[in-house]
Amino acid sequence: MNKRAPEFDAVIDLPLELIEISDRLRRVDPAHVEGLKQSIEAGGLSTPVVVTPVEGERFRLVAGAHRLAAVKSLRTTETIPARIVRGDDLQLRLLEIDENLIRHELRPWDRAVFLARRKEIYDALHPEATPGAKGRQVIEKGQTVNSAIWAKSFSQDTAERVGLSDRSVRLAVSIVTRIDPSLHDVIAGLPLADNQSELEALAKQGPERQADVVRLLTRDTDPLPRVRDAVAVLENRRVTPAAERDKAYQQLLGFWNRSPMAARRLFIHHLRDTGQLPDT
C-alpha cells in the first residue's frame, strides 16, 4: 500500500466553476459561512481551499467547504485561492478530516463522526498498529525476538495531531460505533448533536431502543427533550417535569448539606449496596 504523504502544488487562483463538491462527511453550517463572509469582506481569504485533480480538467474539493461556500455567496469574484494536492483516496480523506478537526469548533456529533472515519482510514493505512497485530520479528545475535518497534496507536496519533486527549478520542469514536448507522443522518440534524452527554446516553441503548428514543425526541407532538425521558417512557416509568425535578434536587441538596459526615457515608453505602452507585 502506498503510504507516501500527499504532494502539494503551489497555490493558484482557480475558477469556482471548475470545483466539484461530493461525498462530504459534514454538512455546511450556514452560520459559519456567514461569519466567514464577514471576515473575507474585511480582509480577504487568508487560507486557500484544497482541491485534487479529477477527470476533464476539473477539481474535487478536499478541504475548505465553508470557505468555498462563503466566496460563492459573496459573488464578488469568479476565482478562489486553491492549493492542488495529489494522493490516494485514503490520504485525501484523512487530509479533509484533520483540517476540520483542527480548524473549526465542531459539534460533538460531527467531531465524533470525523474521528470514527479517521480511525477507519488510519487502521487501513497502518494495519500494524491495530490491536492484536503481530510485532515484527528481527534477528538479534542469532536469535529471533519480538521487536519493540510498533506504530503509534490511532488514539495517540490523533490526540497529538488535533489537540484532543487520548480519552476524548476513544470516547468520541465509541459513541459513533455504538449508535445504529441508520440513525446517523437524523442525529446530525437534531439538537442532540450538540450535547455529548446526550449522545453517550443514546449510545448506551441497544440499536432497537435507539430508534425508538430518536422517534420520541423528534415526534411532531410534544417531543421529549432528553434521552433519559424517552427511555423512561419506553420503560413505562414516569417522566419528571423539569420544575419538579429541580425542586426535588434542591431539597436533596439541602438535606445533604445539613447532614453529618457519618450520615452521608451511610447514604453512599446504601446507594452502592442497591446498585445505584458504582464501586470506585
Task: With a cut of 80, say whether residue 113 has pLDDT above it.
Answer: yes
Confidence of residue 143 (pLDDT cuts 50, 70, 90): very low
In whole angstroms, how far apart are CA 35 and each of 91, 163, 241? 29, 24, 37
Determine the Cα–Cα distance for residues 149 and 4; give it in Å rounded to an integer.
20
Asked whether 96 and 87 are in contact (CB, 8 A), the reply is: no
The pLDDT value recorded for residue 13 is 94
In terms of average pLDDT, the best of 76-80, 136-140, 147-151, 161-165 is: 76-80
The whole-number average pLDDT for the span 155-163 is: 82
Give the model confidence (pLDDT) of 219-269 as tens digits.
988 888 889 989 988 988 776 666 666 677 778 888 888 888 888 888 887
Q: Which of 113, 269, 118 is nearest to 193 (CA)?
A: 113
Task: With a cut of 80, say whether residue 70 has pLDDT above it.
Answer: yes
**Strand duo 58-63 + 49-54: pairing:** antiparallel
Positions of CATH 3.90.1530.10 in the chain: 7-87
Asked whether 202 and 195 are in contact (CB, 8 A), the reply is: no
The pLDDT value recorded for residue 250 is 79
Residue type, 127: P
Determine the Cα–Cα distance for residues 57 and 21; give it in Å rounded to an integer.
15
Task: With a cut of 60, say whether residue 35 has pLDDT above it.
Answer: yes
Q: Which of 19, 64, 17 is nearest to 45 (CA)?
A: 64
Q: Which residues pair with 146 in a beta bridge?
A: 137
CATH number at 7-87: 3.90.1530.10
Q: pTM for the whole thing?
A: 0.65
